[in-house]
Amino acid sequence: MITSPKLKLSGDRFTVTYLLDSPLKEAEHRASGIAVEQTIEFPVDLVDDGDIRTKLVGQIEKVAAQNPKQTRVIISYAWETCANELTQLLNVIYGNISIQPGIKVLDFMLPAAVDEVFDGPGFGVDGLRKRHEAQDRPLICTALKPMGLGAKELAGMAGEMALGGVDIIKDDHGLSNQIFAPFKERVKYCCEAVQKANQQTGQNTAYYPNITAPGSELIDRAKEAENAGAGGLLFSPGLTGWDTVNWLRSEGVNLPTMAHPTFQGTYVLHSDIGLAHAVQYGKLARLCGADSSVFPNYGGRFSFTKDECLSIKHSCLEDFNSFKPIFPAPGGGMKLERIEELISFYGKDVILLVGGDLHRGESISTASRQFRETAEQAASRLYPH
């Protein structure tokens, strides 16, 4: 029998809303299991009735039938269980139970205490609008690719895109440090090309190199990018972990970041497991400190529905503790002819991502200019002053 010490707790708690694939009665029982699994992971009958059992084990706040087969459960956890660490916070929200079928994280709510622990987005919507001097329109973004091109060829492409008025030019998420265009060389040439174009246009196009890398390399690459004059950084939390932006900041790197969704689709593809779209691409992206969040748009090469995309948009923009709103960045096989539709759907606070389609026109700079003008015109038509 475990004798619980007296625990000094703040009383702050965070709550997680789970959807269980069980009817009400069974869900009540399962909820108790989750409350234990995610905290003490220990047989409760072997713990005395002191603080561990009464305060550390998750508390079931609400159990309500969603329909005859599914039940919504809200569990609260003592803030201290997460040790002020994003990794451990995620571990409590959805660690071991990620391996149990039929549990979906629909939402989570954090106490005010979180504001002193996690910085969240350093720039957010307002910060990026200021950097790009773009108050009344969506930002537009494209990617450097395909893999296989050399650093100078990619830089030439970046220059054209910048001349055409693209706000953010990111590396394709598959460009890391391949021999074709090694990171250092690529970043140097692309930064130079974009800076040169900016001098010509008077605009502030930003190049976002992809810093997704092994642990031993990631910070060096980010610093290298910052020193070379990159305007932001692309990273993939599915490969480097959700704590990446906090880590960058602790090392003094303070550039806008864009989260890429690669390697983490399994969290959202099925409705009965994982994280809700709004949690993964909205709340978590903000909590982790990303300033924009890439996700596959409806009607492209992927399968997200309009409702799922809308939920992501809301989660990026609506109130969430003191965290800045961030840009949703739908992409994945988008074409220029859909720009107006997308602005009408998402509103102005969106980063529109068009990749391969910019290479279909007579030149990349022309297609980029058309991208920018289409977005500006659609925005002022749809949202007149």
Binding to a copy of itself by CB under 8 A, coded x per residue (else -) over 157-176, reads: ---------------xxx-x
| Contact criterion met (CB below 8 Å) for 167 and 161 | no
Least Å distance, CB 227 to a copy of itself, is 20
312-315 long-range CB contacts below 8 Å, 24 or more apart?
312/277, 312/278, 312/281, 312/282, 313/282, 313/346, 313/347, 313/349, 313/350, 314/278, 314/282, 315/278, 315/279, 315/281, 315/282, 315/283, 315/286
C-beta closer to a copy of itself: residue 319 or 362: 362
Taking each continuous run of H as one helix and of E as one strand, the counts in the chain are 14, 13
**Rounded Cα gap, residues 183 and 161, in angstroms:** 20
C-beta closer to a copy of itself: residue 214 or 383: 214
* Per-residue b or e along 294-323, where b marks 16 or more CB atoms closer than 10 Å to that residue's CB: bbbbbbbebebeeebbbbbbebbbeebbeb
Least Å distance, CB 133 to a copy of itself, is 30
Among residue numbers 182 through 241, which ones bind a copy of itself (CB under 8 A)?
A: 212-218, 236, 238-241
In this chain, which of 169, 234, 268, 276 binds a copy of itself, going by CB under 8 A? 268
Binding to a copy of itself by CB under 8 A, coded x per residue (else -) over 21-40, reads: ------------x---xxxx
Q: Which stretch binds a copy of itself (CB under 8 A): 11-19, 127-135, 139-147, 197-205?
A: 139-147
Among residue numbers 52 through 111, which ones bind a copy of itself (CB under 8 A)?
A: 52, 56, 80-81, 83-88, 90-92, 94-101
Q: Which residue has the tokens 């970046």?
A: 158
In this chain, which of 266, 305, 344, 363 binds a copy of itself, going by CB under 8 A? 266
C-beta closer to a copy of itself: residue 17 or 39: 39
- Which of 177, 181, 230, 176 has its CA nearest to residue 207? 230
Least Å distance, CB 23 to a copy of itself, is 19
In this chain, which of 23, 24, 28, 51 binds a copy of itself, going by CB under 8 A? 51
3-state secondary structure of 10: coil
Least Å distance, CB 348 to a copy of itself, is 26
In this chain, which of 355, 367, 368, 375 binds a copy of itself, going by CB under 8 A? 355
Least Å distance, CB 201 to a copy of itself, is 24
Least Å distance, CB 335 to a copy of itself, is 11
In this chain, which of 25, 301, 306, 381 binds a copy of itself, going by CB under 8 A? 301
Least Å distance, CB 99 to a copy of itself, is 3
Least Å distance, CB 217 to a copy of itself, is 8
- Which of 173, 177, 158, 174 has its CA nearest to residue 218? 177
In this chain, which of 29, 43, 199, 319 binds a copy of itself, going by CB under 8 A? 43
**Rounded Cα gap, residues 19 and 64, in angstroms:** 10
C-beta closer to a copy of itself: residue 129 or 277: 277
DSSP 110: -
Q: What are 342's two structure tokens?
A: 């997308």
E strand residue ranges, the chain: 13-20, 59-67, 70-78, 103-109, 139-144, 168-171, 206-208, 233-235, 257-259, 274-275, 292-296, 327-331, 351-353
- Number of residues lying near a copy of itself (CB under 8 A): 94
C-beta closer to a copy of itself: residue 229 or 361: 361
Interaction of residue 273 with a copy of itself, rule CB under 8 A: yes
